Structure formats: C-alpha cells, structure tokens
Structure 1
C-alpha cells in the first residue's frame, strides 16, 4: 500500500514564519529621525523622576551613541530659572550630577512651599482671632488718634525739642550729626574720628556692658564703615534662591543679611544688639539659620545670620 501524499509546507504552517510575523506586527519598524524629534521636543514636567523616565524611554529608541550625554543636555535645555543656572555653573556636569541636583532642587521647593503654606495659615488664624468687630474697635481707634494728636500739639506749643543722649560726645542734642560737638573731631585716645575720649569705645566697651540697663543684650561689633570702598572684598553666595553679595568684614563678630532675602517664617527673636563703628547701637529684626550655596566650590553650609 502506498504512503499518503503530504501537503507542501507553506508560510502559514511554518512556526518560525508565524512568530516573525507576530513580532513585526507588535513591534513595527521605528524611524530614528522621528524618535529623535520626539525626544528633543519632550516638554519638562514635574515630578522630575517621571520626566527622566520618559527621556530614557525615548532615548532608547533613538539609538544614540552617547545616550547619557544626550539626556543630560536635554535636561539642561528643558529646565529654566535658578535650576538651569545651577546646572550651567558646573563645568564637570554629567548625568548623575544633573539628576541629583534636579531632585534636590525639586525637594527644597516643595519644602519651602510647605513652610509658606503653614505660615500663611497661621497668619490667617491670628488675624481672625485678633480682628475686633463692632463699635468698641472704632471707639478705641478714635481715642488713640485723639490722644496722639493732643500730645503732638502740646509738644509744639511748649516749644519742646526732642533730644537724646549722644554716644559720640556724651551730651544731649538733636538727632543730627551737625549738632554733635564731637562730629569731625579726633579722639585723644584712639585717634579715631567723630567721638570724644570720654566716649571712646576702646575705653568704655567693658564698663558700658556692665552699667547698661540693657545688659540682657548680647553686643556684637560691626566694623565695616564705607560702602563705596572699591577695595572691599565681596563674595556672591546663593541664599533662598537669591544671589546675595556679602562683604567680608574680618572685624565683625557676627554675620548679617538684609531682610529682603529672608522669609518671615525663617526668623526667630534675638537678643543680639549690633554696635556700629561709630559707637551707635542697632537692634536687628531677628536671627535665622539658612543653607548657603557657594557656586565656586559647590558646597552648602548652614550659617547663622542676624
């Protein structure tokens, strides 16, 4: 008996051909030019890790020879503002450094926003409690205004002149330097300008601390005197996302910063009192401890400011 005739093998009956057809259907041919166009037109969005994952996925389809470098450049091109400045300042920036810096920047912004929200909520609560309604509030304001006007009027009618104890000459006079007899004179002890020997800080610094009625203050000296001096040493550091130019004052006991670079929620009360170069005193608004970024060595330090 003869063997039955076998049907000829076709592509439909070949397992390898079938699997290849399925793979081609599920993974169509990719156009590198189109994928590269999509990669460079990816818009930056938060969270940063989601944006980074999307870049890595698209870069895998572009067949880049230096994939990490392309992703690093795309990150720098996509971000903006202070974060972009921080990335461009690093001459040895690679993908790992860029990712760490972006994550840290995003986290610090989230924390700062949380602080601001809490501060705003607390302020609104205080205002709600302290808001006085009704006729009593208007009556109190009217009484205070009338009392102030009466005091000013009496002072003018009597010819009374406001005077204060001058720490440069030791006498009482108006708060005008031209009225001070020590202004323009030299001290016989330290040969410094604009004060008498009796008021010399080098003689009386210790005794003033002992005899002062404000002995609760912690006195500190600021020695910088001329803001127009072209030879002064300055350093630009980053505080609260602001470029702050600090003057290096080797004679100062403390670090000072202008209030416009500090948020209200960062300030705490202080007992520090600043003694200026001309022996006058200044009570600051408060003190704070802030992270300070040095763009030259890329280091962050926690500094206490007044």
Structure 2
C-alpha cells in the first residue's frame, strides 16, 4: 500500500499551487455565460488551490468575477455575506434579468404587430368599394363605376346606389326654403309699409 502511494506520487505530475491560484483569481464570468456554469468552474478550480477556507475563496471570486455589476455593488455595500447568500443573490438577479428580457421582448413584438396592422392595406386586398358598392381590388382601374355617369346627381365615377348627393340635396332644399321664408317676410313687410304710408 505504501509502495503504491509512492509510485502514484512519482507518476502523477506535481501540482503547482501558485499556477492553480493564478487561474482561479483570473477566472471571470463571460458576457453571456450562465451563472451556474461560472459557479461550477470556480468550484472546480478551487480544489487545486489548497485554500484553508475554500468557501470564502469561492465567495470572493464569485463577487469579484461576476459580470452583474449592479448585484456586485449591492453585495459589497451590504457587507460580509456568506457563500450561500451570494449564490442566491446572483442567481435571483440573473433570473430577474431573463424575465425582464422576456417581458420587454413581448412588448416589442406587440409594438411591431400594432405598427404592421396600422400600415395601409395592400392594393390587391379585396374590399367593398364606396364608388360602385361591389367587392374588388383597391385599384381605381378595376372599378366598374369608373367613367360612368350617376343617374341621381349627374356626376361621374360612381353609381346611383352609392350616391351621397341626397344628403347634399336635403341641405340645399332646407337652405332654399329658409331663404324663401325670409324673402316673403321682407316682401310682406314692404307692402305693409307702403300701405301705411299711403293711408297717412
């Protein structure tokens, strides 16, 4: 058993603690690296560093090497948090960022949808035409009322079935009637005035 241990120690390369700590201290979380992947790698690196207090070393590396500067600042301000607290805070912060990104992404999609729906409809869309009353593409050249004379208002480019001139006619008739009423009142007043002058 003793010979086996000595043989193993002889065959296995000697670990350089200083180099292991160099790798540990320089390990930082990459920009898009998940926190749990960063944590796993730190715990693996610390094994060959031979720290007396591994948990404190891991905690320090997580705080100093995280790419979440806002959470890093909060942990430093709050003081000496233990390893579990640091892990919990960094995990929750990452989860919060992911959820916020999902919500913001949904808002952006909704905005794009509303913007798309607010665009003018394409010309090849079939709709009911206000000039002929039939359904066809939104193109003037395919409208059957183009160049046709309306039998109601004697104007071109629409049919009598959709003619709106009746509304104009009603307003015109009302204006004409009001004018006639005011003219007759003026005339009667004039006659009365003439009669009154003659009697005097």
Q: What's the TM-score, normalizing by structure 1?
A: 0.36
The DSSP-based 3-state class of the residue aligned with 2:14 is coil
Instruction: Find out whether 1:100 has 2:88 as its counterpart.
Output: yes
The 5-angstrom pairing of residues 19-58 of structure 1 reads: 20-21=6-7, 24-25=10-11, 27-45=12-30, 46-58=33-45
- Whole-Å separation in 1 of the counterparts to 2:65 and 2:73: 12
1:115 match: 103
Report Cα offsets for 1:168-217 as digits up to 9, x if no partner: xxxxxxxxxxxxxxxxxxxxxxxxxxxxxxxxxxxxxxxxxxxxxxxxxx
* Alignment size in residue pairs: 121
1:145 match: none
Which entry has the higher C-alpha Rg, 1 or 2?
Answer: 2
1:76 match: 63
Q: What's the TM-score, normalizing by structure 2?
A: 0.54
Distance 1:75 1:127, change over 3 A: same
C-alpha deviation, 1:81, in angstroms: 2.2
Decide which structure has greater strand share. Answer: 1
C-alpha deviation, 1:67, in angstroms: 1.2
The gaps in structure 1 that reach 5 residues or longer are 1-14, 137-306
C-alpha deviation, 1:69, in angstroms: 1.1
- Runs of 4+ with >4 A deviation: 15-20, 133-136
- Whole-Å separation in 1 of the counterparts to 2:25 and 2:78: 22
